[in-house]
Amino acid sequence: MADARAEGSILIVDDEVASPIVSAVRRRLEADGWRTVAVEPEGGWRSGDEFEAAALYAIEEAKPDGVLLDVRFGDARDDLFKGLDILRKIVTAHPTLPVLMFTQYAQGPDRETAVRSTLRWDAPVDFIDKLASPEEVVLRLRRLIGTAPEVIRMGGRITLNVSAKTVTVTGKSVEVSGPSGPAALADIHGMRFEILRELAVAWYKSPGRLVPFSALERYSEGEDARASLRVRVREIKDVLGKALGEHLGAGDLIINVRDQGYRLMPKE
Amino acid sequence: MLRRWLASGRLRVAAAALAAAGTLSAALAPLLGEAVSESLWGIEPMAYAGGVALIAGLGLLTASYAARGMPAGGPAASGEGQAPERWSEITQRYFEVFHHDLGRPLSRIVGKERELRAALQERSGEIDPAVADLLDEIERQAPNFRLMMSNLQALIQLEGGPTTVREDAVEPAEVVRRIVERYHGVAVEAGKQITWWSEPAEFGIVYSDGSAIEHIVTNLIDNAVRFAAGEVEVKLTRNPTHFFVRVWDDGLGIPAQYVAHLFDRGWTPEAARRDEKVSSGLGLFIAQTLAARQRGGLTVESVTVPDPDHHTGFLLSLPLGRSTGAPPA
Ligand SMILES: Nc1ncnc2c1ncn2[C@@H]1O[C@H](COP(=O)(O)OP(=O)(O)OP(=O)(O)O)[C@@H](O)[C@H]1O
Ligand SMILES: [Mg+2]
């Protein structure tokens, strides 16, 4: 099982066969590198209880890293209780398993608070409305699941491996390709790697998040920490730019935001 | 006297029961009527009686609600204060029942649009840019719609009269993060960037009203993304008594003569110029009202073109709550 989980998998529990909103999210999750497993009433579960049993069984089987639950609650009273029942059973049986639940739009925060109050206070459960973009759902799941992955892909071509402490660039530039795929960029190591890692993890968790100077200054030295940081960032950009075969200017990839800190801004 | 009687709650219950009984007997007429009399004619008296009961019941119900809404001085007296309250009460009840249905048609539309996009992509690999533009336009309306719906809800709650200051444990950084995530795609699509951060980085909790913070900041970010030239910044800070959310954009700025009206209900520059209105002008009114309710404030500071430093910054300040304030995490 360990290898299957290495990439991370999400179980999708959906009571409507292939609801378009969920299919779009599913495609987006797969593009993000997650494996998805679905519990769908394809043969048509005869009862809500059967559906619930199938969902719980699938959790035991697939051992997912997170669950995306789309069981309508809000139309009819029965549905309302079914969705909540399933949620509650999952939380009881797997108290640490992150669950993101779709809600119909505008059930509102009060409703969520009410639902949450019926669960364990520390249950990793979150709600998201159906009008959310697939992008938003993916971000929320990442946040809920919590850990940053071992491998972070920044835009199309740059990949950072956290534990191997390597950065690779794929694509045109020939000299960086080794025999077994792209070789790691030897010039990004030590403090340079740490700076890039900080930026990559912050970006992965919340694409708009700035990393303030205060969080980066430990990766610089000398009297003027900011100046030393500026030099390091410049060096990182030069190395990456060379590998990418393009010039990275002030507004590319790593940007300095109004003297507050740095932010990663990869191109798709 | 008559009015008093009409307005009584018991009458309304009775009227509703009468209407319900009428509906029931009209509906069951074909069944019951046959049991009462062998011939087909047995149906009609039942159905008629049921119909009459239904109409009478509904009539009484309406009269009763109307009487309750009337000011003591009778229908001729001015209804100031009373009438709007009645209206909002009805609206509020309507929304309690139906608000979760309002988003459904749109989530269907958006769902189908995403399906269509995927189907097109599967079939031909690349989507024709013109078609993609049209699909993007549909997608772009989703956040607008979400904001409109939540503003409507907030407005109705505000009309419902004063409520107590809420002091739930809230993580403001989490609220900001979610809103930025929601607008990130919209901004990138428009060639703009949203950046957010908090000081301290681990911001911790405050005791406040999470949904009010969300309403306010969503409105500010929605405006900022719309009016920015290229950059939107959202910064979360705190002092020993308050926390602050500053939403900044590098747009053209707001002319001084407009600033005074900015927080008025329904005000937009188009309205002021008597042009066609393109938005509702409710966002900032709601935002400021909500902030005041939480014993906080919302202020604006703007530098307009031609100053090269043109920008607009809104500052939301709210108390940390639980009187002493929450210690930072
Ligand atoms: N960041 C900003 N930069 C420039 N003008 C702004 C900014 N924020 C608000 N305004 C001006 O203030 C007006 C009122 O804003 P408000 O949010 O109250 O309403 P709206 O955005 O027009 O409509 P709604 O928010 O109800 O959809 C806007 O129409 C706009 O002209
Ligand atoms: Mg607005």
pLDDT digits (tens, 9 = 90+) for A47-67: 677 778 888 999 999 999 999
| pLDDT tens track for B120-141 | 888 888 889 999 889 988 888 8
Asked whether residue B242 carries a pLDDT value surpassing 90, the answer given is yes
Give the pLDDT mean for B224-253: 97
Per-residue pLDDT tens digits for A84-103: 788 889 999 999 999 998 87
Residue A74: the pLDDT is: 45
- Look up residue A89 and give its two tokens: 């059973």
Residues with Cβ within 8 Å of residue B217, at least 6 apart in sequence: B175, B176, B179, B234, B245, B247, B316
Answer with the residue of higher pLDDT: B46 or B298.
B298
In angstroms, what is the span from residue A71 Cα to ligand 1's centroid? 37
pLDDT of residue B70: 43
Q: Which two tokens stand for residue A124?
A: 């990793």
Tens of pLDDT, residue by residue over A116-160, are: 777 777 788 988 888 888 989 999 998 898 877 888 888 888 999
Provide the 8-state DSSP code for B79. -
pLDDT at B324: 52
pLDDT tops 50 at residue A6:
no
Distance CA B41, CA A131 (A): 54
Looking up tokens 């940053």 gives: A148
Specify which residues A127 forms β-bridges with.
Answer: A101
Other Cβ atoms less than 10 A from the Cβ of B119: the count is 11
pLDDT band at A1 (very low <50, low <70, confident <90, very high): very low
Report the gap between the CA of A65 and the closest CA in chain B (Å): 21
- pLDDT digits over A20-47, tens only? 888 889 999 998 888 999 887 666 655 6
Structure tokens at B48: 């008629």
Q: Is A178 helix (H, G, I), strand (E, B) or coil?
A: strand
pLDDT, residue B194, reads: 96
Flag the least confident range among A172-176, B3-7, B18-22, B255-259: A172-176
CB B20 within 8 A of CB B58: no
Whether residue B277 is predicted with pLDDT greater than 70 in this model: the reply is no
Q: Which of B192, B215, B223 to mutate to test the pocket of ligand 1 (most atoms within 8 A of CB)?
A: B223
User: Which region, left, alpha or beta, applies to residue A63 given φ > 0 means left and ψ of -120 to 50 means alpha?
Assistant: left
Whether pLDDT at B74 is above 80: no
Measured over the CA atoms of residue B226, residue B227, residue B230 and residue B234, the dihedral's sign is negative
Specify the 3-state DSSP secondary structure of A184: strand
Q: Separation of B224 CA from ligand 2 center, angstroms?
A: 9
- Strand, helix or coil at B32? helix
**What kind of fold does domain B168-319 have according to CATH?**
Heat Shock Protein 90 (3.30.565)
Give the CA count within 13 Å in the CB-facing half-sphere of B177. 22
Distance between CA atoms of residues A103 and B154, nearest Å: 19
Cβ distance of A135 and B181 shorter than 8 Å: yes
Contact B201 A140 (CB under 8 A): no
Q: Please give the domain boundaries of chain A with CATH numbers for all domains.
A: 9-145 (3.40.50.2300), 151-265 (1.10.10.10)
Least confident span in A66-80, B43-57, B97-111, B197-211: B43-57
Query: Contacts of residue B197 in chain A, CB cutoff 8 Å?
Result: 209-212, 260-261
Average pLDDT of the segment spanning B232-255: 97
Confidence class for position B185, pLDDT limits 50, 70, 90: confident
**Residue B121 CB partners (closer than 8 Å, separation 6+):** B127
Q: Where are the domains of chain B?
A: 2-72+86-159, 168-319
pLDDT for residue B29 is more than 60 = no
Give CA separation, B43 vs B23, B51, B55, B91, B188, in Å. 14, 12, 18, 39, 67
pTM, 2 dp: 0.78
State yes or no: pLDDT of A173 exceeds 50: no
Is the CB of B111 less than 8 angstroms away from the CB of A19?
yes
- Please report the pLDDT score of residue A235 as a whole number: 95
Strand, helix or coil at B302?
Answer: strand
Q: B6 versus B89: which is more confidently predicted? A: B89
User: Cα separation of A24 and B114, whole Å?
Assistant: 6
A chain contacts of residue B149, beta-carbon cutoff 8 Å? 105-106
Q: Closest CB to A208: pick one of B103, B143, B196.
A: B196
d(CA B156, CA A108): 14
Whether B68 shows a pLDDT value over 60: the answer reads no
pLDDT band at B271 (very low <50, low <70, confident <90, very high): confident
> How does DSSP assign A132-160, residue by residue?
S-HHHHHHHHHHHH-PPPSEEEETTTEEE
> Mean pLDDT throughout A210-230?
89
Closest CA to B3 of B55, B56, B59, B75: B75
Taking CB atoms and an 8 Å limit, are A206 and B214 in contact across chains? no
Q: Is A136 on the interface with B (CB under 8 A)?
A: yes
Residue to mutate, B284, B299, B315, ligand 1, most ligand atoms under 8 Å from C-beta: B284
The answer on pLDDT for A172 being more than 60 is no
> What pLDDT is recorded for position B137?
86
pLDDT, mean over chain B: 79
The helix/strand/coil state of B24 is: helix
- What gap in Å lies between CA B323 and CA B329, rounded to an integer? 17
Rounded to 10 degrees, the C-alpha dihedral B130/B192/B181/B107 comes to: -30
- For a pLDDT cut of 70, what percent of chain B falls above it? 67
- pLDDT surpasses 50 at B90: yes
Cβ–ligand 1 distance for B254 under 6 Å, the answer yes
Q: Residue A130's closest chain B neighbor by CA?
A: B107
Question: Burial level of B151, CB count in 10 A (0-12/13-18/19+)?
Answer: buried
Alpha-carbon distances of A209 from B19, B233, B240, B250, B280, rounded to whole Å: 59, 10, 24, 18, 30
Mean pLDDT throughout B75-86? Answer: 50
Report the distance separating Cα B264 and Cα B258, nearest Å: 10
| Chain B closest-CA separation from residue A49 CA (Å) | 25
How many residue pairs bridge chain A and chain B with CB atoms within 8 Å of each other? 115
Q: Name the nearest CA neighbour of B146 among B241, B222, B234, B59.
A: B222
- pLDDT(B80) > 50: no
